[in-house]
Structure 1
């Protein structure tokens, strides 16, 4: 190989590297540039196929082959714009995504709800801590890194859009649908933490969708099952619920998801979900707040919509309201037909349709879908379970540990004394227990099932000596750590008794549950670890073995004793 060729090859390689490393324009910036590819695809679409680009269909890889094939037929026949994957596995999803993409002339946007990463939907993948725990973390850089890692995972699986983060301000402790999915009750904390996560994902090349506009945090109704009503004034919404949305819009959020809520102060139409409200979607979000990016409806098959609007009319109204993407319509074929009729009847203009179609196509171009995507189906599980991701999960868990009450309790623990390590909530030995017995070798372990009876409790109490150290782990074994931790009366009585005897508590549950355990405030120390997963149990064990200094701050107020911002 001659020197001239080597020199030329080197120049080409450097140019290629420079191009690869050059900062990609944001999606919002790209919207202003009108890429040639977008126009070339747009000009070939019929009216029907333009409308179809605005619809995303549901897909699963944990359901039957017949179901999966039926989704493929819908994609091919109706030429839809995208897919939202739900439960399944990563290898199966990679294979199915390749099949679905091969059926679509215009590449599909593949999306998923991944608020805490792929693990929210897929087995054999990484789950980061829930956003409630992340709200306790004081180091924003860790959340930014999480966003970058999530983007790597998604792109490896051929996913271009994460329907996250959740930026709802959870100022209602009884919220059944947001709750632990929120960064907490403080609007500034929510905005700050979600902005760091969003920045990482977007810089990692992922489309995002902040949700649930204009704010789903103060409701006690789940819009999956009914239509919540927010009776707050516009002033209240503007100063509280809307605050994180306004901040993240300023920071360049690519997408916003609209919630299904009835909000009379913004639109007085009875039983009208915000998703279908032009005053909320167009007048407030687009015009007043100046949002230029993708507007995505929450799932159109949720009861918050279908209870009052059926037969394709909801989708017509969703487009009129200003949504660019309609998720999970009950019948996409019928909905496309209804929208086409609405254009003919002059309820919807072609300009309105074209605006959304170009936004969707630009999103596809930004995500690299101008080149037909093919996912490498080899080594998928290994590639999305990287050591650096696992290390970051543990770092985030460590940083979330929140110490309530005195440090003296933890610091007073000594290997010299007999230590009772008592789990309440599970009959199985826990990672926390196994991690600390090496330090406190003179220990006795008890595992108390959530439905333990009075005799079991009495037997444990009988064995406690005055000089014993008591480490009490309270474990919510549910997959999703909501309120009302399922503990029987006798199990709760044991917690009360042990707390009064200076127990040091590791709390593997949603912090709101502290209010449901009478007497727990008497404990000498309480370490809030937010959820049951092993990474949280290891983090709490590091606190109890004095290898980790807890720095987390409580992201919500529980009661008059445990308040937002508490943490020693």
Structure 2
């Protein structure tokens, strides 16, 4: 072999070794990767101006449903400020993929694209798959299914050019009237919340997606929406440590890549008056980073929310959040102002150089971990088919089937006479529901009835008279609102009618609503059979039909306590 050939072979060998090392670095857990020197990160950091280093910590809002002028304005922000990332909200998958490709061309360092996708792309985008709400997932006993969901969510995110999900929600929802968390939580049992959140997180991270547990130190026991005002957690440090913080502590042990900080005033953790936890160094640096040992990305909740801007306006919140220990500030009211004010704080030595450098390099390391060091545009060919694939749809149904919870009536379920006169009643609906349609295939001697949520007393009495001629009644209670609140917006007369229907012989009632709504329907416990179905979607209606007709055995268990009749962990598992 000639000298030239030997040199060429050695060069190729060295090249493949470097590629292999880089690949293995990106395959290792994100938290582990942070302890390894990264030459790409160091190189990019050195090339950035002081202003652009700060800008890497800012993530700005993006939409694809607000028209071209809005889209162009976001492009100008990227071009002028060179922010670190974007958080996409409402729109469509094709439009978002196109816009991501456009925006990435304006960035000197590839943008980290994030979304709130607690139940997948369908939480934000039309024409995409919506997986079950986390409250629904909380009823599932097989956490491997939730892991599989995480893997599918990761694949769909990456397919449209997104690399970070602000999920899972790991709040323990121990306040049924919580206006902002509620059905977004896995439930009111801290152990179940931790297990489900970790399964979902591990599925997503195994698929190469950055995740963010929220909202530290725990937003589950509040009655104020932090989008509108500043909630207060009045509990002792011992209570917060043993309950609210538990799922986050377990997620840290399991290697979660990010944690989002809530906007809450917590006097037992920081006595500063009216100070949101997002701006508290004792909470973020003292507890989360030092005491709990979290090394990953610390992300603020949206900095435009009233919970943080009400008492700290005009950019002061951005600076305080930066100094408190956040690595990423999302959705500042004015990102240009935030960059200038943070640079001023750095010049005044309000933060050490080492801490600032570590923040920027952590964000760059996250970009490296998701592969943005070798950025490629989103391939928009067959995009819709790829993210609406058959296996993902089947998984949604599988999750729904596993969540359905039988609260009473195992002697009746699967044993109704399909030849008897059967009334198929949907309450809160104004047209034939999938529930009635599917049941009609089995109960051939049946008739559908609709009861609007505000039905008049006269119409109600007429319908009750008509129902007397039926041998059995199968009822669906439907909350048709976009998001399932803990109380139904039915009239009191309709609620009384539900109780009357529940008292009929051989009555089966499926509640396609937030499980907390059962507490507001007294008399429901008298039903021959009662199913908690958690949400209005078609896949849950089909799952209920499968249980009623004996096609599947219910295995779900209540993730929350509803009242004295139905408490956490209840659910008849039929064999």
Tell me if both proteins adopt one fold, taking TM over 0.5 as the criterion. Answer: yes
Choose which of 294, 304, 308 in structure 2 pairs with 1:305. 308
**Which stretch of structure 1 is more off in the superposition, 353-362 or 369-378?**
369-378
Structure 2: how far apart are the matches of 1:537 and 1:467? 22
Give the C-alpha shift of residue 352 in structure 1: 2.2
Q: Does 1:557 align with 2:569?
A: no
SS of 1:487 mapped into structure 2: coil
Structure 2 match to 1:180: 183
Pairing 1:490–2:493 present: yes
Give the Cα–Cα distance (whole angstroms) in 1 for the partners of residues 348 and 459 of structure 2.
72
> Take 2:362 and 2:478, find their aligned partners in 1: how far apart are those partners?
46
CA distance, structure 2, for counterparts of residue 17 and residue 108 of structure 1: 25
Q: 1:501 to 1:45 in 2, by over 3 A?
A: same
Equivalent residue, structure 1, for 2:547: 543
Shift of 1:304: 0.4
1:388 aligned onto 2:391: yes
Residue 494 of structure 1, CA deviation: 1.3
Aligned counterpart, 2:45: 42
Residue number in structure 2 paired with 1:499:
502
1:126, 1:404 → 2: CA distance?
29
Could you say which residue in structure 2 is the equivalent of 1:320? Answer: 323
- State the match for 1:70 in structure 2: 73
Check whether the contact 2:499–2:522 (CA below 8 A) recurs between aligned residues: yes
SS at match of 2:132: coil
Residue in 2 that maps onto 1:409? 412
1: CA distance, partners of 2:207 / 2:378: 18
Aligned to 1:408, what secondary structure does the other structure show? coil
Supply the distance in 1 between the matched residues of 2:504 and 2:364 (Cα, whole angstroms): 64
For 1:166, the equivalent position in structure 2 comes to: 169
**Does 1:356 find its partner at 2:349?**
no
- Per-residue displacement from partner, 1:496-525 (whole Å, max 9, x unpaired)? 111111321011000100011121111111
Query: Is the CA contact 1:34–1:362 (under 8 Å) kept in the aligned structure 2?
Result: no
Distance 2:442 2:105 in 1: 56
Per-residue CA deviation, residues 263-296 of structure 1 (Å, 9 max, x unaligned), is 0000010110000000000000000000000000
Equivalents in 2 of 1:550, 1:514: separation in Å?
19
Deviates more, 1:106-115 or 1:519-528: 519-528
Answer with 337-346 or 97-106: which moved more: 337-346
For residue 4 of structure 1, what is the aligned residue in structure 2? none
Deviation at 1:348, TM superposition (A): 2.4
**Ranges in structure 1 where 5+ consecutive residues have no aligned partner:** 1-7
**1:68-217 to 2 correspondences below 5 Å:** 68-217=71-220
Alignment check: 8 A CA contact 2:423 2:470 kept = no
Corresponding residue number in structure 2 for 1:534:
538
The superposition leaves residues 401-433 of structure 1 with CA deviations (integer Å, 9 ceiling, x where unpaired) of 000112112233111211011111111110010
Q: Deviations over 1:79-109 (max 9, x none)?
A: 1000000000000000000011000000000
What displacement does 1:485 show?
1.1
| Distance across 1 between alignment mates of 2:211 and 2:445 | 51
CA contact (8 A) 1:187 1:243 kept: yes
Q: 2:284 maps to which residue?
A: 281
Q: Distance in 2 between matches of 1:411 and 1:547?
A: 8
Distance in 2 (CA, whole Å) between partners of 1:546 and 1:535 is 16
* Higher deviation after alignment, 496-505 or 282-291: 496-505
The ranges of structure 1 where at least 4 consecutive aligned residues each deviate by more than 2 angstroms after the TM superposition are 14-23, 348-352, 464-467
Q: Indicate yes or no: 2:474 matched with 1:444.
A: no
Give the TM-score normalised by the residue count of structure 1: 0.96
Alpha-carbon spacing, 1:137–1:87, altered in 2? closer, same or farther (3 Å):
same
1:17 deviates by 11
User: Quick check: 1:500–1:522 contact (8 Å CA) kept in 2?
Assistant: yes
| Aligned 8 A contact 1:50 1:353 in 2 | no
Q: Which moved more, 1:20-29 or 1:204-213?
A: 20-29
Which whole-Å CA distance do the structure 2 matches of 1:109 and 1:464 have between them? 58
Q: Distance in 2 between matches of 1:22 and 1:327?
A: 27
Q: Indicate yes or no: 2:240 matched with 1:240.
A: no
Q: Deviations over 1:112-161 (max 9, x none)?
A: 00000000000011100000000000011100000000000000011010
- Contact 1:508 1:537 survives alignment (8 Å): yes
Contact 2:259 2:297 in 1 (8 A): yes
Contact 2:414 2:549 in 1 (8 A): no
State the partner residue of 1:567: 571
Q: Secondary structure at the match of 1:97?
A: helix
Which residue of the partner structure matches residue 524 of structure 1? 528
Residues 169, 182 of structure 1: 8 Å contact kept: yes
Is the counterpart of residue 365 in structure 1 residue 355 in structure 2?
no
Give the corresponding residue for 2:467: 464
Give the corresponding residue for 2:255: 252
Please tell me whether the aligned partners of residues 510 and 544 of structure 2 are also in contact (alpha carbons under 8 angstroms): yes
Q: By how many angstroms is 1:46 displaced?
A: 1.7
| Paired position in structure 2 for 1:5 | none
Q: Matches of 1:481 and 1:505 in 2, distance apart?
A: 18
Shift of 1:465: 3.3
**C-alpha distance 388-458 of structure 1, shift in aligned 2 (>3 A):** same
Does structure 2 conserve the Cα–Cα contact (< 8 Å) formed by 1:107 and 1:373? no
* RMSD of aligned alpha carbons: 1.8
After superposition, the C-alpha distances for 1:361-401 in whole angstroms (9 at most, x for unaligned) are: 00000010002330112211111011110000000000000
**Map of 1:377 onto structure 2:** 380
The counterpart of 2:433, out of the listed 404, 425, 430, is 430
Tell me which residue corresponds to 2:6: none
2:59 to 47, 56, 59: 56
Range with bigger deviation, 210-219 or 373-382: 373-382
Give the TM-score of the pair, scaled to structure 2: 0.95
